[in-house]
Structure 1
Amino acid sequence: MEYCKNCEVELDNDMAFCPLCGLRVGEEPIPVNIPIEKHPDFRDKTINEIENLSRTQKLKLIWKISGIILTSGIIVTLGINFIISQNINWAKYNLIASLVAFANISIVILFRKKPLILIICSLTSLILMFLTIDYFNGDSNWGIKLGIPIVTSIYVLSLVILVLIRISNQIGFNILAVVFIAIASLLLCIEIFVSLYSHQIIILKWSLIAGASLIPVSGILFYVHYKLKKGIELKRFFHI
């Protein structure tokens, strides 16, 4: 049994050419100059170098790459805005958003093992972003009346879920039920803040419908969790 000297495909005895690359049996392959960056050994070496990095080194690499990308985006958008308008107007929003994004990436890397500090620092950065946007817009107060309350609700509910996970003796369907309740609460908060911002009064419609759909599901999940905690198997519980 022979093998192709180019692609190492197994060849039958009656074959004159390789069925894969077309090289004549017994013929030597023509050497091809492959750029080093495209060579398989080079790619494998690069991948291995990344895989051999420690977790801290990988996070530091992500932090550096994120900083380079966001800085490049800031410079490009500021340059385009100035060239087109001879002024900096819309690009300043990209500037503040990019800075907050980089701040949050840094916060996650630094405080990934301290969720409470992470949430507080991240929320603070977003509040500062909304206040800056309000400052750029003049007297609109969109961030104070709408952006900050909604974002704060998201972070508070996330913190509640984390606390419940920490203090829960058994994690299962109960956490999923809490998540559904948190989503229903968030939708209710969003409609309250939007209606206050738009109409100066609280008008509840779609959030009540969503809550009416999610709360019963949460109740079922709590019940299933309670039954499973008592040792009842799923097959017997669902009569399978």
Structure 2
Amino acid sequence: MAYCPKCGIRVEKDNQPCPLCSFHIPKVNETVAAETKKFPKAANPYPAHLRRVLNRIFVFVSLLVFVAVSLMFYINYEINEAFTWSRYSNLSVLAGWGILYFSFGYVQSYYKVIIGIALISLILLFGLDTFHEGLDWYVPLAFPIVVGTAVIGICYWSVIRALSVRGFNVIGFFFIAVVILSMWINFFISSHQDETDLLSWLIVTGLQLLPVSLVMVYVKYGLPERIKQKIARKFHL
């Protein structure tokens, strides 16, 4: 359907003279929908720029690590004709490089980060104890402490997500996790020193939990609401 551009009368078909004024009416394609103007898609370039900067820093650090490890092996072999002290230093440097990989955000999952750092720590401690001509402290101390730390960290994050914990409760659960970890470490250190006494361990454990529990109860029920809100705004809780 078209209109005469001269007199404005509506005509039945296009490309024909107007029946009123005989003006030639141009053909109009009615199937083409009018294009609607859209707002440009908003995009924040800062994350991509930050990612590129971090990638460059990590590549540079990786090259430094490779050069440092190679130099330490070469110097150690030239001086001692064997790899002695360079084993300890290079293993520590490579472990630090692995932890740096997780710290630069290449792994997004919290669980994978915890497991990855725990595995790197276990490999580092196993190597250091093995280079010392024996496994003296890796099995009774290092392995259970590192594994326990990883398990407690995973459980803490799982509880936070499952219960949708927010605000001061996050800090409360964190202190509980730290106390449990301290108990775990204390138990294996005492066992390694042959000083494990179950009753004493339970008493020490209770004394550790008591102040944390009292602080949590006071924050939950005794702290004024305005102070809670002020602290929450201050620390973005």
Q: TM-score, normalised by structure 2?
A: 0.63
The residue matched to 1:110 in structure 2 has which SS? coil
Q: Which amino acid aligns with 2:225?
A: E
Judged with a 3 Å threshold, the aligned counterparts in structure 2 of structure 1 residues 225 and 59 are, in CA distance, closer, same or farther, namely farther
Judged with a 3 Å threshold, the aligned counterparts in structure 2 of structure 1 residues 226 and 145 are, in CA distance, closer, same or farther, namely same
Q: Quote how far apart the aligned CAs of 1:115 are.
A: 0.6
Judged with a 3 Å threshold, the aligned counterparts in structure 2 of structure 1 residues 234 and 53 are, in CA distance, closer, same or farther, namely closer
Judged with a 3 Å threshold, the aligned counterparts in structure 2 of structure 1 residues 178 and 52 are, in CA distance, closer, same or farther, namely closer
| Alignment-derived partner of residue 196 in structure 2 | 202
Decide which of 103, 110, 115 is 1:115's aligned counterpart.
Answer: 110
Matched, 1:100 2:92: no
| Alignment-derived partner of residue 132 in structure 1 | 127
Q: Quote how far apart the aligned CAs of 1:55 are.
A: 2.9
- Separation of aligned partners in 2, 1:176 and 1:135: 39
Q: Quote how far apart the aligned CAs of 1:226 are.
A: 5.7
> What does residue range 130-169 of structure 1 map to in structure 2 within 5 Å?
130-169=125-164
Unaligned runs of 5+ in 1: 1-50
Matched, 1:73 2:94: no
Contact 1:176 1:218 in 2 (8 A): no
Judged with a 3 Å threshold, the aligned counterparts in structure 2 of structure 1 residues 216 and 91 are, in CA distance, closer, same or farther, namely same
- Separation of aligned partners in 1, 2:81 and 2:152: 44
Contact 2:118 2:147 in 1 (8 A): yes
Q: Which amino acid aligns with 1:202?
A: T
| Alignment-derived partner of residue 232 in structure 2 | none
- Separation of aligned partners in 2, 1:69 and 1:150: 31
> What is the CA deviation profile of residues 99-147 of structure 1, one whole-angstrom value per residue up to 9, with x for unaligned ones?
2222222234321x21111212221222222233333233334222211
Decide which of 172, 175, 183 is 1:180's aligned counterpart.
Answer: 175
- Separation of aligned partners in 2, 1:235 and 1:110: 38
Contact 1:187 1:207 in 2 (8 A): no
Unaligned runs of 5+ in 2: 1-45, 229-237
- Separation of aligned partners in 1, 2:116 and 2:137: 22
- Separation of aligned partners in 2, 1:193 and 1:184: 15
- Separation of aligned partners in 1, 2:121 and 2:142: 9
- Separation of aligned partners in 2, 1:145 and 1:213: 24
Which piece of structure 1 moves more, 53-62 or 147-156? 53-62
Q: Which amino acid aligns with 1:180?
A: F
Give the count of matched residue pairs: 181
> What is the CA deviation profile of residues 195-233 of structure 1, one whole-angstrom value per residue up to 9, with x for unaligned ones?
22232x5257799658624542344324533678xxx62
When the two chains are superposed, the root-mean-square deviation of aligned CA atoms in Å is 3.2
Q: Which amino acid aligns with 2:106?
A: L
Identity of aligned residues (%): 23
Contact 2:179 2:209 in 1 (8 A): yes
| Alignment-derived partner of residue 15 in structure 2 | none
- Separation of aligned partners in 2, 1:153 and 1:52: 35
Contact 2:176 2:212 in 1 (8 A): no
Judged with a 3 Å threshold, the aligned counterparts in structure 2 of structure 1 residues 213 and 52 are, in CA distance, closer, same or farther, namely closer
| Alignment-derived partner of residue 57 in structure 2 | 62
- Separation of aligned partners in 1, 2:221 and 2:71: 56
Q: Which amino acid aligns with 2:159?
A: L
- Separation of aligned partners in 2, 1:64 and 1:132: 26
- Separation of aligned partners in 2, 1:211 and 1:80: 53
Judged with a 3 Å threshold, the aligned counterparts in structure 2 of structure 1 residues 97 and 211 are, in CA distance, closer, same or farther, namely farther
